[in-house]
């Protein structure tokens, strides 16, 4: 890129961040919910308890909605690589291209084609084919995550390539696919998707419970979600820790920013609170526990940890990474406490108390918060690189005029704000409606696969 316009860079970065933040909320729900729906269906097939089918009926609508938003915001991403970051594909297109192509070929068609059968095909195919369609959609969402995380991990820890004439050329595809940070990132993301879904389902179910809607399907969904959350959150904490140690090996500058450590030091403190000051390269109002960071990063209180100042011109902005990390970890610990308390209470009393319900409702979107914060840690933490050590973000940006980028930025921000409000409001609207109407099956004419009759709906134009 010949002309680098700083404003277009900032606007493009905000636009991409807005886009990808908004986008990831919905695939996370789709991945988790797809497998949860599989579980509901499996339980129904095994027990023929109608509660599981009712739970499926309600949550499949939420799935359809979040899947649709995920698709359209994902299409946007595939265009933005070119519109805003032309230098990206020009430099590493030989690596990123095949991974993205395989995502389209192996995941998008699978999920999009069988989604129709999953949502609308129950009356047209056998029970077994319908379950298979549900499974293939769930599989598709997970395969999609595999390719995207493979690419994202390669951008963080690039291996298996060489630079020729300013362009990356692949040498070893297995090395590229399974780059050093990939196993951690992929597992971390899938667990995050599971947790996001578990708290979403638990929160909405608890909200219905509070409204007095205490049917078996609400109970079943709530119990399943709490069990899932209680199972996944300790795993996530362990995987997250391993991921952090992996990052220390490959991206010490990122870990320095996460820890808020400016100076390289032995006996490095774990900083609980601070206001990192980028200009003065120091922390203000720091509260810390001496030696602890050295211990949990290198398992010795005396170990040396590199500080941000060690990486002049090649470290991320400290404050956003520092804070995003603390938000993620804070929400994670809260999830642990809430999930295990909830599980204990459900086991002991058989139903949730009013305080627990209130807390679960407040935690409905806690997964989204932790998810976004976690991605901020890793993506802002990669700066100033787009591909770590290979391509700087500033060298990949479009030379489109800043005004044009600003215009589309405003458009996307407005659109996403409206859609987010619409999604949340539709979610609780559906939940309320499911609770008040004795026949939950009439609430959605098209998207309900198990509707027995549709005489009263407008869909049947033969009526």
Give 120's contacts (C-beta < 8 A, 6+ positions apart). 446, 447, 449
75 near another protein (CB under 8 A): yes
Per CB under 8 A, the list member of 36, 119, 360, 369 interacting with another protein is 119
Shortest distance, position 116 Cβ to another protein, whole Å: 3
**421-to-73, 171, 221, 393, 428 alpha-carbon distances in Å:** 15, 46, 24, 31, 11
20/84 Cα distance (integer angstroms)? 13
Per CB under 8 A, the list member of 53, 55, 115, 342 interacting with another protein is 115
User: Within positions 393 to 412, which residues make up the interface with another protein, using CB under 8 A?
Assistant: 398-400, 404, 407-408, 411
Shortest distance, position 367 Cβ to another protein, whole Å: 21
355/362 Cα distance (integer angstroms)? 11
Per CB under 8 A, the list member of 108, 199, 207, 375 interacting with another protein is 108
Shortest distance, position 83 Cβ to another protein, whole Å: 4
Buried b (16+ CB within 10 A) or exposed e, 162-201: eeeeeebeeeeeeebbbbbbbbbbbbbbbbbbbbbbbbbb
- Please name which of 68, 115, 88, 139 lies closest in space to residue 422, comparing C-alpha atoms: 68
Residue 266, both tokens: 């032995």
- Alpha helices of 171-311 — where are they, by DSSP H? 173-177, 182-210, 216-250, 252-259, 292-298
228/22 Cα distance (integer angstroms)? 25
Residue (98 or 183) nearer to another protein, CB:
98
- Please name which of 71, 35, 41 lies closest in space to residue 53, comparing C-alpha atoms: 41
35/13 Cα distance (integer angstroms)? 33
Per CB under 8 A, the list member of 20, 51, 100, 143 interacting with another protein is 100
460 near another protein (CB under 8 A): yes
Shortest distance, position 17 Cβ to another protein, whole Å: 17
**277-to-44, 232, 260, 329 alpha-carbon distances in Å:** 56, 36, 10, 22
Residue 218, both tokens: 């609400």
Residue (124 or 349) nearer to another protein, CB:
124
Residue 259, both tokens: 């820890």
The single residue listed with the structure tokens 């026949």 is 439
Q: At what angle do helices 318-349 and 354-362 cross, to 10 degrees?
A: 150
457 near another protein (CB under 8 A): yes
292/408 Cα distance (integer angstroms)? 45
Per CB under 8 A, the list member of 38, 49, 83, 227 interacting with another protein is 83
Residue (330 or 452) nearer to another protein, CB:
452
129/463 Cα distance (integer angstroms)? 29
Shortest distance, position 103 Cβ to another protein, whole Å: 8
Per CB under 8 A, the list member of 81, 178, 296, 323 interacting with another protein is 81
- The site that binds another protein (CB under 8 A) totals a number of residues, namely 85
Per CB under 8 A, the list member of 116, 290, 353, 389 interacting with another protein is 116
178 near another protein (CB under 8 A): no
94 near another protein (CB under 8 A): yes
355 near another protein (CB under 8 A): no
User: Within positions 369 to 398, which residues make up the interface with another protein, using CB under 8 A?
Assistant: 398
User: Within positions 294 to 333, which residues make up the interface with another protein, using CB under 8 A?
Assistant: none
Residue (341 or 441) nearer to another protein, CB:
441
Residue (264 or 457) nearer to another protein, CB:
457
User: Within positions 28 to 67, which residues make up the interface with another protein, using CB under 8 A?
Assistant: 61, 64-65, 67
Per CB under 8 A, the list member of 18, 49, 93, 327 interacting with another protein is 93
Give 410's contacts (C-beta < 8 A, 6+ positions apart). none
Residue (101 or 238) nearer to another protein, CB:
101
User: Within positions 410 to 429, which residues make up the interface with another protein, using CB under 8 A?
Assistant: 411, 415, 419, 422, 425-426, 429
105 near another protein (CB under 8 A): yes
442 near another protein (CB under 8 A): no
Q: At what angle do helices 127-156 and 86-103 cross, to 10 degrees?
A: 150
Shortest distance, position 78 Cβ to another protein, whole Å: 6
**122-to-58, 127, 425, 431, 457 alpha-carbon distances in Å:** 15, 7, 28, 23, 18
With H, G, I as helix, E, B as strand and everything else as coil, classify residue 305: strand
Shortest distance, position 412 Cβ to another protein, whole Å: 8
Per CB under 8 A, the list member of 4, 17, 18, 125 interacting with another protein is 125
* Contact predicate 88/96, CB 8 Å: yes
Per CB under 8 A, the list member of 106, 227, 265, 345 interacting with another protein is 106
Shortest distance, position 281 Cβ to another protein, whole Å: 36
Q: Among the candidate windows 35-43, 105-113, 204-212, 329-337, which touches another protein by CB under 8 A? A: 105-113
């Amino acid at each position: 890129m010949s002309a680098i316009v700083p404003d277009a860079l900032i606007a493009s970065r905000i636009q991409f961040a807005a886009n990808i933040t908004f986008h990831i909320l919905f695939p996370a729900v789709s991945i988790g919910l797809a497998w949860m729906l599989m579980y509901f269906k499996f339980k129904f097939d095994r027990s023929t308890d109608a509660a599981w089918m009712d739970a499926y009926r309600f949550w499949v609508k939420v799935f359809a909605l979040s899947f649709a938003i995920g698709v359209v915001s994902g299409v946007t991403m595939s265009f933005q690589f070119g519109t805003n970051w032309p230098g990206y594909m020009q430099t590493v297109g030989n690596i990123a291209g095949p991974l993205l192509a395989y995502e389209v070929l192996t995941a998008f068609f699978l999920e999009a084609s069988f989604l129709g059968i999953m949502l609308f095909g129950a009356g047209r195919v056998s029970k077994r084919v319908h379950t298979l369609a549900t499974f293939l959609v769930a599989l598709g969402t997970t395969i999609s995550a595999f390719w995207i995380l493979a690419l994202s991990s390669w951008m963080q820890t690039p291996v298996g390539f060489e630079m020729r004439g300013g362009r990356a050329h692949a040498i070893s595809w297995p090395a590229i696919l399974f780059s050093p940070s990939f196993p951690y990132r992929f597992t971390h993301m899938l667990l995050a998707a599971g947790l996001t879904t578990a708290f979403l389902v638990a929160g909405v179910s608890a909200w219905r419970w509070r409204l007095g809607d205490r049917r078996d399907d609400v109970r079943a969904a709530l119990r399943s979600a709490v069990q899932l959350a209680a199972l996944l959150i300790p795993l996530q904490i362990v995987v997250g820790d391993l991921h952090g140690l992996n990052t220390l090996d490959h991206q010490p500058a990122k870990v320095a920013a996460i820890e808020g450590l400016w100076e390289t030091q032995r006996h490095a403190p774990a900083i609980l609170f601070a206001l990192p000051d980028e200009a003065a390269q120091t922390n203000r109002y720091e509260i810390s526990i001496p030696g602890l960071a050295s211990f949990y990063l290198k398992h010795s209180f005396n170990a040396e940890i590199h500080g941000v100042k060690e990486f002049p011109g090649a470290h991320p902005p400290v404050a956003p990474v520092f804070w995003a990390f603390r938000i993620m970890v804070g929400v994670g610990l809260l999830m642990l406490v809430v999930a295990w308390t909830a599980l204990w209470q459900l086991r002991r009393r058989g139903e949730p108390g009013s305080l627990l319900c209130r807390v679960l409702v407040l935690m409905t979107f806690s997964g989204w918060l932790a998810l976004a914060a976690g991605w901020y840690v890793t993506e802002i933490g990669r700066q100033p690189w787009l591909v770590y050590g290979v391509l700087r973000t500033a060298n990949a940006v479009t030379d489109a005029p800043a005004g044009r980028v600003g215009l589309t930025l405003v458009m996307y921000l407005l659109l996403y704000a409206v859609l987010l409000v619409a999604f949340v409001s539709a979610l609780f609207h559906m939940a309320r409606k499911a609770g008040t109407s004795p026949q939950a099956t009439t609430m959605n004419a098209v998207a309900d696969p198990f509707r027995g009759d549709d005489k009263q709906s407008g869909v049947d134009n033969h009526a």
